[in-house]
């Protein structure tokens, strides 16, 4: 069993490829055979199988046996782990942007230039 860090690495490696992401999008509709997954792509069935092996290693898909058919289905757990990891950074950036927004609002507030030291004394004019 891979460590959480290794699992996260495998998930992000799997998600780095647009074909694998498209396969996951298709699998959100329900399980499919390798041939069904290969149909929309202009690549060979063996190439799709290689993509599926990477997704399987990452735990993002699984295959079951139904007679001679081996349907592929999406698995949610590794994706949740990646989302949870990303969530910590979203919180960090939201906090940082909140501080930046406050600073910008402060900088855009008009400065009162009518202070005693900036006011001309009318009696000396």
Global pTM value: 0.71
Say which CATH number the domain at 45 has.
1.10.10.10
Q: pLDDT higher for 121 or 90?
A: 90
CA distance to 7, 8, 78, 102, 123, per residue, from 61 (Å): 13, 15, 10, 44, 85
40 belongs to a structural domain:
yes
Tens-place pLDDT, residues 49-105: 999 999 999 999 999 887 778 899 999 889 999 999 898 888 888 888 888 888 888
pLDDT at 42 over 80: yes
Residue 103: predicted pLDDT: 86
Residue 119: predicted pLDDT: 53
Give the count of domains, the chain: 1
116 belongs to a structural domain:
no
Tens-place pLDDT, residues 5-24: 899 999 999 999 999 999 99
H or E stretch covering 72? strand 72-74
Q: For residue 25, what are the domain limits? A: 1-108
Q: How far apart are alpha carbons 4 and 60 in whole angstroms?
A: 14
Buried b (16+ CB within 10 A) or exposed e, 15-39: beeebbeebbebbeeebbebeebbe
Confidence of residue 38 (pLDDT cuts 50, 70, 90): very high
């Amino acid at each position: 069993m891979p460590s959480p860090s290794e699992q996260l690495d495998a998930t992000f490696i799997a998600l780095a490829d647009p074909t694998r992401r498209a396969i996951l999008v298709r699998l959100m509709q329900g399980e499919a055979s390798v041939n069904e997954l290969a149909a929309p792509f202009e690549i060979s069935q063996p190439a799709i199988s290689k993509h599926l092996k990477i997704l399987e290693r990452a735990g993002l898909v699984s295959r079951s046996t139904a007679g001679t058919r081996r349907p592929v289905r999406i698995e949610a757990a590794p994706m949740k782990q990646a989302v949870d990891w990303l969530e910590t950074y979203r919180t960090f950036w939201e906090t940082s942007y909140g501080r930046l927004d406050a600073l910008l609002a402060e900088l855009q507030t008009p400065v009162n230039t009518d202070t005693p030291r900036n006011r001309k004394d009318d009696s000396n004019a």
